């Protein structure tokens, strides 16, 4: 039995909206774990779909913020996002073909999320905070929400 993933303070990157999005991704991971344990195939598919969509939207927010702060690692970070999005799409495809992918997805997600938040996202946070005022940051994030 896989334990539920818990949100801990060290996962916070200090931008409330981005933190809230990461928390939501943690929720998705736990939902996927539940769906897998109860053996509900349909639920696994629904969570996978929701997770892929939500993650893509989250990436859009992050990329807008780091672009505005002229973070030098933006292109690299974006490539990491793209790689992960392709991986999620691949899982969705395999799921649609009837494969049991939940355990593999969970394993990938657990590793990815921790690395993504604790290392990659932390990398851009300092520059974003130093470069953008809270008002600028709020306005960029609001534009992202409006575009969705």
Q: Does residue 15 contact residue 125 with C-beta atoms inside 8 Å?
A: yes
Structure token pair of residue 18: 């981005």
Measured CA to CA, the distance from residue 137 to residue 142 in angstroms comes to 9
Which of the residues 99 through 138 are near Fe ion (CB under 5 A)? 121
Indicate which single residue of 33, 48, 62, 66 sits in contact with Fe ion (rule: CB under 5 A): 62
Least distance from C-beta 52 to Fe ion, angstroms? 14
Q: Does residue 29 contact residue 5 with C-beta atoms inside 8 Å?
A: yes
Least distance from C-beta 89 to Fe ion, angstroms? 17
When the beta carbons of 44 and 144 are compared against Fe ion, the nearer one is 144
Radius of gyration of the chain (CA): 16
Other CB atoms within a 10 A radius of the CB of residue 14 amount to 11
**15 touching Fe ion, by CB under 5 A:** no
Structure token pair of residue 109: 């997600």
Number of residues that bind Fe ion (CB under 5 A): 2
Least distance from C-beta 136 to Fe ion, angstroms? 19
**69 touching Fe ion, by CB under 5 A:** no
Residues at the interface with Fe ion (CB under 5 A)? 62, 121
């Amino acid at each position: 039995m896989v334990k539920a993933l818990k949100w801990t303070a060290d996962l916070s990157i200090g931008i409330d909206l981005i933190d809230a999005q990461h928390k939501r991704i943690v929720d998705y991971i736990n939902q996927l774990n539940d769906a897998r344990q109860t053996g509900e195939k349909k639920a696994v598919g629904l969570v996978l779909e929701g997770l892929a969509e939500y993650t893509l939207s989250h990436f859009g927010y992050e990329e807008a913020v780091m672009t505005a702060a002229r973070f030098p690692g933006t292109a690299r970070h974006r490539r990491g996002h793209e790689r992960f999005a392709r991986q999620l799409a691949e899982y969705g495809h395999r799921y649609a073909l009837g494969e049991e992918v939940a355990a593999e997805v969970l394993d990938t997600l657990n590793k990815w999320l921790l690395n993504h938040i604790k290392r990659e996202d932390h990398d851009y946070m300092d520059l974003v905070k130093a470069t953008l005022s809270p008002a600028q940051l709020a306005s960029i994030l609001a534009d992202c929400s409006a575009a969705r």
